[in-house]
Amino acid sequence: MSERIVEDFLSLTSIDAESYQERQVADQVVKLLNEIGIEAVEDNVANTIGGNAGNLYGVFEGDASRPPILLSAHLDTVGPGTGKKPVVRDQVIFSDKTTVLGADDIAGVVEIIEGIRRVKESGKTHRTVEILFTVAEEVYTKGAQAFDYGKIKAKEAYCFDLSGDVGTAARRAPSLISFNAKITGKASHAGFAPEDGINAIQAAAYAISNIKQGRVDEESTVNIGTISGGKATNIVSEACTVAGEIRSFSHSKALELLSQIIMGFENATGETGAKVDFSYEIHFKAYEVDEDEAVIRRFKEGCVHLGINPIVTQTLGGADNHQFNAHGIKGIVVSCGMENVHSTEEYVTIENLEKGARLVEELITR
């Protein structure tokens, strides 16, 4: 298995596939699925989201008396992802340090494919498996959002898209809300007539100074990520834009924090005479899967059978699994061995790729 899964991983990570540009990697994955007898159907979300490839959906038919499961991973990567060159050294696969590796999430893709391949070759009885490889996951799961869930029969899902050694899974994830405050003041000469101006940057500073940031409580985080504005040091700034995000394991708490932030900007601009145009987008809604659900029990039992200590935790990150749970599919996010993701220091061990494939085999046959 080692040689085969490494070959697949190196082949796929050598293909550039930043979000909205997954055409080549999608074509290669279709070939791999066809080789193991699975017909991959591509949907038309490319037209919806402005990309060049759609989500890939396929079915590995099995014993109809067992409940089916959905296995998922995504095809796209973050940047810098142009000209990727995977490097193998001491049983570890790295990038060449100029780009990301793309283990996020090609590790999940090859583990799912190899796990199914092993089951088919073994002739073991197995449940039906639905496979969904999505596009544009790294841009707030745009591909998974646009997928037609009327096709899915499974009520349980394993989303192979979590960092760390194989054997960890997250059953809880947050709501994520991004916001943007555009503040408009009044320009004037900073030296000759500062009193005639309304400083948009100052209004923004007032608002930000009253926003608690970082880990605001045990369930929530708030961050101001970017501030831009002003034209020159001798001009009272007429415009300033502030962008940030809110994450919380409680959706109601996320909305409450959003309300407080909106009020803070409105009060600050009101005091200075500036105006604010505030906008926000709810990207994900928090979910939590109970520990006694079958989807978690099966994961734990599979890990134990492989001699892996199962760890069930939570994540403050977003994944396609948010969309699954929103559509009534109880899913958990499963580690596929990737490390230092979203950086040029990204890597994965061959051992974890093998363990991930064996875990897929366990989930299918258990």
Domain count, the chain: 2
pTM: 0.92
Q: Could you tell me the residue range of the domain that residue 327 belongs to?
A: 2-173+287-365
Let me know whether 49 and 160 are in one domain: yes
Phi, psi of 360, deg, nearest 5: -60, -45
Same domain, 71 and 219: no
Residues 162 and 79 both lie in one domain: yes
Same domain, 139 and 188: no
> With bands split at pLDDT 50, 70 and 90, how would you rate the model's confidence at 162?
very high
What are the tokens at 357?
A: 């494939």
Cα separation, 72 vs 158, in Å, equals 6
For range 46-53, the mean pLDDT: 96
Cβ(157)–Cβ(295) under 8 Å?
yes
Mean pLDDT, the chain, integer: 96
Q: What is the CATH number of the domain that holds 272?
A: 3.30.70.360
Instruction: Clarify whether residues 110 and 181 are in a common domain.
Output: no
Rounded percentage of the chain residues whose pLDDT exceeds 70: 100
Same domain, 44 and 168: yes
Bridge pairing between strands 168-173 and 311-314 = parallel
In this structure, the answer to whether residues 262 and 231 fall within a common structural domain is yes
Distance CA 173, CA 5 (A): 30
Q: Are residues 341 and 318 in contact, defined by beta-carbon separation less than 8 angstroms?
A: no
Residue where one domain finishes, among candidates 284, 317, 333: 284
295 and 153 within one domain: yes
Per-residue pLDDT tens over the stretch 274-302: 999 999 999 999 999 999 999 999 999 99
Q: Which tokens in the block code for residue 257?
A: 């924090």
Pick from 284, 312, 335: which residue ends a domain?
284
Q: Quick one: 169 and 316 in the same domain?
A: yes
Contact 340, 346 (CB under 8 A): yes
**What does the alpha-carbon distance between residue 202 and residue 208 come to, in Å, rounded to a whole number?**
10
Instruction: Specify whether 212 is located in the same domain as 154.
Output: no
Whether 21 and 166 share a structural domain? yes
Q: Is residue 302 located within the same domain as residue 257? A: no
Last residue of a domain, one of 268, 284, 300: 284
Task: List the CATH number of the domain containing 325.
Answer: 3.40.630.10
Residue 87 has pLDDT above 80, yes or no: yes
